[in-house]
Structure 1
Amino acid sequence: MSTTRSRAALAGGTANAARLFVAALAFTSAYVGLSAYGNARSAAAPVQTVTLSAREMPIARPLKVATSTSTSTSARAGAVAVTAAGADGCATSYVARSLLAEAAPGQGVIYRWRLSRWSPATRTWRTFLAEHGGFAGSEREIEWRPRISGNPGWYRVEVLAEGAGAVRSERFQVSC
Protein backbone atom coordinates (compact mmCIF):
# COMPACT_ATOMS: atom_id res chain seq x y z
CA MET A 1 0.00 0.00 0.00
CA SER A 2 2.77 2.27 0.70
CA THR A 3 4.00 1.95 -2.87
CA THR A 4 0.61 2.94 -4.26
CA ARG A 5 0.47 5.98 -2.04
CA SER A 6 3.96 6.98 -3.09
CA ARG A 7 3.04 6.68 -6.74
CA ALA A 8 -0.14 8.71 -6.20
CA ALA A 9 1.78 11.41 -4.32
CA LEU A 10 4.46 11.46 -6.98
CA ALA A 11 1.89 11.69 -9.75
CA GLY A 12 0.05 14.48 -7.90
CA GLY A 13 3.30 16.34 -7.23
CA THR A 14 4.35 16.02 -10.85
CA ALA A 15 1.00 17.38 -11.95
CA ASN A 16 1.37 20.33 -9.58
CA ALA A 17 4.92 20.96 -10.81
CA ALA A 18 3.68 20.82 -14.40
CA ARG A 19 0.93 23.34 -13.62
CA LEU A 20 3.39 25.66 -11.89
CA PHE A 21 5.77 25.35 -14.85
CA VAL A 22 2.99 26.21 -17.33
CA ALA A 23 1.89 29.18 -15.18
CA ALA A 24 5.48 30.47 -14.96
CA LEU A 25 5.89 30.06 -18.71
CA ALA A 26 2.65 31.98 -19.36
CA PHE A 27 3.71 34.78 -17.00
CA THR A 28 7.14 35.01 -18.64
CA SER A 29 5.60 35.13 -22.11
CA ALA A 30 3.20 37.89 -21.06
CA TYR A 31 6.05 39.92 -19.53
CA VAL A 32 8.23 39.55 -22.64
CA GLY A 33 5.29 40.51 -24.86
CA LEU A 34 4.52 43.66 -22.86
CA SER A 35 8.17 44.59 -22.76
CA ALA A 36 8.46 44.25 -26.54
CA TYR A 37 5.26 46.32 -26.94
CA GLY A 38 6.73 49.09 -24.76
CA ASN A 39 9.97 49.13 -26.75
CA ALA A 40 8.08 49.30 -30.02
CA ARG A 41 6.21 52.40 -28.81
CA SER A 42 9.43 54.19 -27.85
CA ALA A 43 10.85 54.27 -31.35
CA ALA A 44 13.17 57.15 -32.15
CA ALA A 45 11.43 60.41 -33.04
CA PRO A 46 11.79 61.59 -36.60
CA VAL A 47 14.80 63.81 -37.24
CA GLN A 48 14.01 67.53 -37.29
CA THR A 49 16.20 70.07 -39.03
CA VAL A 50 16.99 73.20 -37.03
CA THR A 51 18.07 76.34 -38.86
CA LEU A 52 20.21 78.75 -36.85
CA SER A 53 20.33 82.41 -37.69
CA ALA A 54 22.41 85.32 -36.50
CA ARG A 55 21.50 88.95 -36.40
CA GLU A 56 23.91 91.80 -36.71
CA MET A 57 24.00 94.46 -34.04
CA PRO A 58 25.15 97.90 -35.17
CA ILE A 59 28.45 99.02 -33.73
CA ALA A 60 28.15 101.65 -31.02
CA ARG A 61 30.62 104.47 -30.97
CA PRO A 62 33.89 103.61 -29.19
CA LEU A 63 34.45 104.90 -25.68
CA LYS A 64 36.78 107.79 -25.05
CA VAL A 65 39.75 106.78 -22.94
CA ALA A 66 40.40 108.95 -19.89
CA THR A 67 44.10 109.53 -19.32
CA SER A 68 43.72 110.76 -15.75
CA THR A 69 41.30 110.39 -12.85
CA SER A 70 39.99 113.92 -13.28
CA THR A 71 36.56 114.51 -14.78
CA SER A 72 37.08 114.19 -18.53
CA THR A 73 33.39 114.23 -19.42
CA SER A 74 31.10 116.73 -17.78
CA ALA A 75 28.00 115.13 -16.34
CA ARG A 76 24.58 116.19 -17.56
CA ALA A 77 21.17 115.75 -15.99
CA GLY A 78 19.13 113.05 -17.72
CA ALA A 79 22.18 111.35 -19.22
CA VAL A 80 24.86 108.87 -18.21
CA ALA A 81 28.32 109.35 -19.73
CA VAL A 82 30.65 106.34 -19.73
CA THR A 83 34.37 106.47 -20.43
CA ALA A 84 37.05 103.80 -20.27
CA ALA A 85 39.56 104.35 -17.46
CA GLY A 86 42.92 103.18 -18.70
CA ALA A 87 45.06 103.56 -21.80
CA ASP A 88 45.78 99.85 -22.42
CA GLY A 89 44.07 97.91 -25.19
CA CYS A 90 41.75 96.08 -22.81
CA ALA A 91 40.29 98.52 -20.29
CA THR A 92 38.63 96.74 -17.40
CA SER A 93 37.61 99.81 -15.41
CA TYR A 94 35.01 102.29 -16.57
CA VAL A 95 33.81 105.63 -15.25
CA ALA A 96 30.10 106.45 -15.37
CA ARG A 97 28.93 109.97 -14.54
CA SER A 98 25.58 111.68 -14.26
CA LEU A 99 24.04 114.73 -12.62
CA LEU A 100 21.21 114.21 -10.15
CA ALA A 101 18.99 116.78 -8.45
CA GLU A 102 16.56 116.24 -5.61
CA ALA A 103 12.89 116.22 -6.51
CA ALA A 104 11.78 118.37 -3.56
CA PRO A 105 13.90 120.70 -1.42
CA GLY A 106 15.30 119.02 1.69
CA GLN A 107 14.44 115.49 0.58
CA GLY A 108 17.88 114.29 -0.57
CA VAL A 109 18.42 111.72 -3.28
CA ILE A 110 18.69 107.93 -3.06
CA TYR A 111 19.93 106.31 -6.24
CA ARG A 112 21.18 103.02 -7.65
CA TRP A 113 23.76 102.28 -10.33
CA ARG A 114 23.29 99.21 -12.50
CA LEU A 115 25.67 97.76 -15.09
CA SER A 116 23.63 95.60 -17.46
CA ARG A 117 24.94 93.06 -19.95
CA TRP A 118 23.12 92.07 -23.15
CA SER A 119 22.13 88.40 -23.20
CA PRO A 120 21.83 87.13 -26.78
CA ALA A 121 20.16 83.94 -25.50
CA THR A 122 17.22 85.73 -23.88
CA ARG A 123 17.51 88.97 -25.89
CA THR A 124 17.28 91.03 -22.72
CA TRP A 125 19.53 93.22 -20.62
CA ARG A 126 20.57 91.44 -17.41
CA THR A 127 22.03 93.08 -14.33
CA PHE A 128 25.77 92.39 -14.11
CA LEU A 129 26.77 94.71 -11.24
CA ALA A 130 24.86 97.09 -8.97
CA GLU A 131 25.66 99.69 -6.32
CA HIS A 132 23.58 102.04 -4.17
CA GLY A 133 24.20 105.57 -3.05
CA GLY A 134 22.61 108.76 -1.90
CA PHE A 135 23.26 112.35 -0.89
CA ALA A 136 21.66 115.29 0.85
CA GLY A 137 21.66 118.48 -1.13
CA SER A 138 20.01 120.02 -4.12
CA GLU A 139 22.22 118.74 -6.92
CA ARG A 140 25.35 116.64 -7.26
CA GLU A 141 27.51 115.07 -9.95
CA ILE A 142 27.70 111.36 -9.18
CA GLU A 143 30.34 108.91 -10.37
CA TRP A 144 30.68 105.13 -10.40
CA ARG A 145 33.68 103.00 -11.41
CA PRO A 146 32.52 99.49 -12.34
CA ARG A 147 35.12 96.86 -13.30
CA ILE A 148 34.60 94.27 -16.03
CA SER A 149 37.10 91.45 -16.17
CA GLY A 150 37.19 88.61 -18.68
CA ASN A 151 33.57 88.91 -19.80
CA PRO A 152 33.30 90.33 -23.33
CA GLY A 153 29.95 91.54 -24.58
CA TRP A 154 27.65 94.54 -24.87
CA TYR A 155 27.02 96.62 -21.75
CA ARG A 156 25.18 99.73 -20.64
CA VAL A 157 25.10 101.70 -17.39
CA GLU A 158 21.88 102.87 -15.77
CA VAL A 159 21.23 105.19 -12.86
CA LEU A 160 17.87 104.90 -11.13
CA ALA A 161 16.93 107.70 -8.76
CA GLU A 162 14.13 107.26 -6.25
CA GLY A 163 10.94 108.74 -7.68
CA ALA A 164 12.33 109.05 -11.23
CA GLY A 165 12.76 106.76 -14.21
CA ALA A 166 15.94 105.02 -15.25
CA VAL A 167 18.55 106.98 -17.20
CA ARG A 168 20.68 104.79 -19.46
CA SER A 169 23.99 105.27 -21.19
CA GLU A 170 24.62 104.30 -24.77
CA ARG A 171 25.63 100.68 -25.03
CA PHE A 172 29.30 99.89 -25.38
CA GLN A 173 31.24 96.78 -26.26
CA VAL A 174 33.85 95.10 -24.09
CA SER A 175 36.06 92.87 -26.22
CA CYS A 176 38.28 91.21 -23.62
Structure 2
Amino acid sequence: MTTRSAAALASGTANTVKLFVAALAFTSAYVGLSAYHNANSATEPVTTITLSARETPISAPIGQTAPAARAGEVTISGVPDGGAGCAGSYVARSVVVNPDPDQAVSYGWRLTRWSPASRTWRTYLVDHDGFAAAESTVEWRPHVSGNTGWYRVELAVEGVKTVRSERFQVSC
Protein backbone atom coordinates (compact mmCIF):
# COMPACT_ATOMS: atom_id res chain seq x y z
CA MET A 1 0.00 0.00 0.00
CA THR A 2 2.93 2.26 0.60
CA THR A 3 3.96 2.05 -3.03
CA ARG A 4 0.53 3.06 -4.21
CA SER A 5 0.49 6.06 -1.88
CA ALA A 6 3.94 7.11 -2.98
CA ALA A 7 2.96 6.76 -6.66
CA ALA A 8 -0.21 8.78 -6.14
CA LEU A 9 1.73 11.42 -4.22
CA ALA A 10 4.39 11.63 -6.91
CA SER A 11 1.75 11.84 -9.65
CA GLY A 12 -0.15 14.60 -7.80
CA THR A 13 3.05 16.54 -7.22
CA ALA A 14 3.95 16.26 -10.91
CA ASN A 15 0.53 17.57 -11.89
CA THR A 16 0.85 20.43 -9.42
CA VAL A 17 4.28 21.31 -10.78
CA LYS A 18 2.91 21.24 -14.36
CA LEU A 19 0.03 23.51 -13.39
CA PHE A 20 2.40 25.87 -11.56
CA VAL A 21 4.76 26.05 -14.59
CA ALA A 22 1.81 26.68 -16.95
CA ALA A 23 0.47 29.45 -14.70
CA LEU A 24 3.95 30.98 -14.45
CA ALA A 25 4.33 30.88 -18.26
CA PHE A 26 0.91 32.48 -18.77
CA THR A 27 1.67 35.22 -16.21
CA SER A 28 5.05 35.92 -17.83
CA ALA A 29 3.47 36.16 -21.28
CA TYR A 30 0.76 38.51 -19.98
CA VAL A 31 3.28 40.76 -18.21
CA GLY A 32 5.53 40.77 -21.27
CA LEU A 33 2.64 41.67 -23.57
CA SER A 34 1.50 44.45 -21.21
CA ALA A 35 5.01 45.88 -21.07
CA TYR A 36 5.26 45.76 -24.87
CA HIS A 37 1.91 47.54 -25.25
CA ASN A 38 2.86 50.22 -22.72
CA ALA A 39 6.20 50.80 -24.44
CA ASN A 40 4.45 51.38 -27.79
CA SER A 41 1.83 53.72 -26.36
CA ALA A 42 4.20 56.33 -25.01
CA THR A 43 2.78 59.83 -25.36
CA GLU A 44 4.27 62.20 -27.87
CA PRO A 45 5.94 65.36 -26.58
CA VAL A 46 3.52 68.23 -25.94
CA THR A 47 3.77 71.20 -28.29
CA THR A 48 2.64 74.54 -26.89
CA ILE A 49 0.92 76.92 -29.29
CA THR A 50 0.32 80.53 -28.35
CA LEU A 51 -2.65 82.17 -30.05
CA SER A 52 -3.11 85.88 -30.23
CA ALA A 53 -5.97 88.01 -31.44
CA ARG A 54 -6.50 91.68 -31.87
CA GLU A 55 -9.76 93.53 -31.94
CA THR A 56 -10.16 96.33 -34.44
CA PRO A 57 -13.04 98.74 -34.03
CA ILE A 58 -15.70 99.15 -36.70
CA SER A 59 -14.22 101.47 -39.30
CA ALA A 60 -17.49 103.31 -39.91
CA PRO A 61 -18.55 103.89 -36.29
CA ILE A 62 -22.10 103.05 -35.36
CA GLY A 63 -23.58 105.07 -32.54
CA GLN A 64 -23.69 103.34 -29.16
CA THR A 65 -26.76 105.30 -28.11
CA ALA A 66 -30.09 104.41 -29.61
CA PRO A 67 -31.07 107.09 -32.16
CA ALA A 68 -34.68 108.19 -32.30
CA ALA A 69 -36.78 106.04 -34.61
CA ARG A 70 -38.62 107.86 -37.41
CA ALA A 71 -41.05 106.75 -40.08
CA GLY A 72 -39.37 106.19 -43.44
CA GLU A 73 -35.89 105.67 -41.91
CA VAL A 74 -33.99 102.72 -40.51
CA THR A 75 -31.47 103.66 -37.82
CA ILE A 76 -28.69 101.33 -36.69
CA SER A 77 -26.83 101.30 -33.38
CA GLY A 78 -24.19 98.92 -32.08
CA VAL A 79 -24.74 96.89 -28.93
CA PRO A 80 -21.68 96.01 -26.87
CA ASP A 81 -22.03 92.25 -26.37
CA GLY A 82 -18.65 91.53 -24.81
CA GLY A 83 -17.78 89.05 -27.55
CA ALA A 84 -14.24 88.84 -28.85
CA GLY A 85 -13.20 88.97 -32.46
CA CYS A 86 -15.73 89.65 -35.20
CA ALA A 87 -18.89 89.17 -33.17
CA GLY A 88 -21.22 92.14 -33.24
CA SER A 89 -24.83 92.79 -32.32
CA TYR A 90 -26.81 95.66 -33.75
CA VAL A 91 -30.21 97.24 -33.19
CA ALA A 92 -32.22 98.40 -36.18
CA ARG A 93 -35.21 100.67 -35.42
CA SER A 94 -37.92 102.38 -37.38
CA VAL A 95 -41.50 103.58 -37.09
CA VAL A 96 -43.96 101.70 -39.27
CA VAL A 97 -47.16 103.50 -40.21
CA ASN A 98 -49.93 101.07 -41.11
CA PRO A 99 -51.39 102.02 -44.51
CA ASP A 100 -54.75 100.49 -43.45
CA PRO A 101 -55.15 100.93 -39.65
CA ASP A 102 -58.22 98.66 -39.64
CA GLN A 103 -56.08 95.69 -40.75
CA ALA A 104 -52.93 94.02 -39.43
CA VAL A 105 -49.74 94.87 -41.26
CA SER A 106 -46.80 92.52 -41.97
CA TYR A 107 -43.22 93.65 -42.35
CA GLY A 108 -39.87 92.02 -42.89
CA TRP A 109 -36.31 92.83 -41.91
CA ARG A 110 -33.37 91.91 -44.09
CA LEU A 111 -29.67 92.26 -43.31
CA THR A 112 -27.77 92.42 -46.59
CA ARG A 113 -24.03 92.17 -47.22
CA TRP A 114 -22.15 93.74 -50.11
CA SER A 115 -20.58 91.17 -52.43
CA PRO A 116 -17.54 92.64 -54.22
CA ALA A 117 -17.51 89.64 -56.60
CA SER A 118 -21.01 90.18 -57.96
CA ARG A 119 -21.16 93.88 -57.03
CA THR A 120 -24.63 93.40 -55.47
CA TRP A 121 -26.20 93.37 -52.02
CA ARG A 122 -26.87 89.77 -50.95
CA THR A 123 -29.24 88.66 -48.20
CA TYR A 124 -27.42 87.63 -45.00
CA LEU A 125 -30.27 87.38 -42.41
CA VAL A 126 -34.05 87.82 -42.50
CA ASP A 127 -36.87 88.19 -39.98
CA HIS A 128 -40.61 88.77 -40.30
CA ASP A 129 -43.18 90.25 -37.92
CA GLY A 130 -46.38 92.23 -37.86
CA PHE A 131 -48.80 94.24 -35.71
CA ALA A 132 -52.36 95.56 -35.68
CA ALA A 133 -52.31 99.27 -34.91
CA ALA A 134 -52.11 102.62 -36.70
CA GLU A 135 -48.34 102.79 -36.16
CA SER A 136 -45.63 101.08 -34.15
CA THR A 137 -41.96 101.53 -33.35
CA VAL A 138 -40.32 98.32 -34.54
CA GLU A 139 -36.92 96.94 -33.62
CA TRP A 140 -34.68 94.10 -34.82
CA ARG A 141 -31.43 92.80 -33.30
CA PRO A 142 -29.32 91.03 -35.93
CA HIS A 143 -26.01 89.44 -34.92
CA VAL A 144 -22.98 89.29 -37.25
CA SER A 145 -20.33 86.74 -36.27
CA GLY A 146 -16.97 86.42 -37.96
CA ASN A 147 -17.92 87.83 -41.35
CA THR A 148 -16.31 91.15 -42.15
CA GLY A 149 -17.68 93.43 -44.82
CA TRP A 150 -20.20 96.13 -45.61
CA TYR A 151 -23.79 95.64 -44.43
CA ARG A 152 -27.11 97.46 -44.47
CA VAL A 153 -30.57 96.76 -43.07
CA GLU A 154 -33.74 96.85 -45.16
CA LEU A 155 -37.30 97.13 -43.85
CA ALA A 156 -40.06 96.03 -46.21
CA VAL A 157 -43.61 96.85 -45.12
CA GLU A 158 -46.60 95.32 -46.88
CA GLY A 159 -48.00 97.93 -49.28
CA VAL A 160 -45.20 100.48 -48.67
CA LYS A 161 -41.83 101.15 -50.32
CA THR A 162 -38.78 99.33 -48.83
CA VAL A 163 -36.61 101.50 -46.57
CA ARG A 164 -32.84 100.97 -46.27
CA SER A 165 -30.35 102.01 -43.62
CA GLU A 166 -27.00 103.63 -44.30
CA ARG A 167 -24.33 101.01 -44.93
CA PHE A 168 -21.93 100.12 -42.12
CA GLN A 169 -18.74 98.12 -42.00
CA VAL A 170 -17.92 95.18 -39.76
CA SER A 171 -14.19 94.52 -39.49
CA CYS A 172 -11.83 92.55 -37.26
TM-score (norm 1): 0.60
- Measured after TM superposition, the shift of residue 162 of structure 1 is 0.4
Deviations 1:91-142 (A, max 9, x none): 5100000000110221121000000000000000000000000000011000
Q: Distance in 1 between matches of 2:122 and 2:97?
A: 27
Aligned partner of 1:83 in structure 2 is: 77
Q: Where do residues 19-30 of structure 1 align in structure 2 (5 Å cutoff)?
A: none
- Check the 8 A contact 2:81/2:89 in 1, yes or no: no
Equivalent residue, structure 2, for 1:63: 62
Q: Which runs of 4+ in 1 moved over 6 A?
A: none
Gap regions ≥5 residues in structure 1: 1-59, 67-71
What letter is aligned with 2:93?
R
Q: Pairwise CA RMSD of aligned residues?
A: 1.9
**Aligned partner of 1:130 among 122, 126, 140:** 126
Percent identical pairs in the alignment equals 55
> Tell me, which stretches of 5 or more residues in structure 2 are unaligned?
1-58
Alpha-carbon distance, 1:175 to partner: 0.3
Q: Measured at CA, do residues 87 and 147 of structure 1 come closer, stay the same or move farther in structure 2, by a change above 3 Å?
A: closer
Matched length = 113
Taking structure 1 as reference, are residues 110 and 135 closer, same or farther at Cα in structure 2, changes over 3 Å only? same
Contact 2:107–2:129 under 8 Å retained in 1:
yes
Structure 2 residue aligned with 1:147, among 140, 143, 147? 143
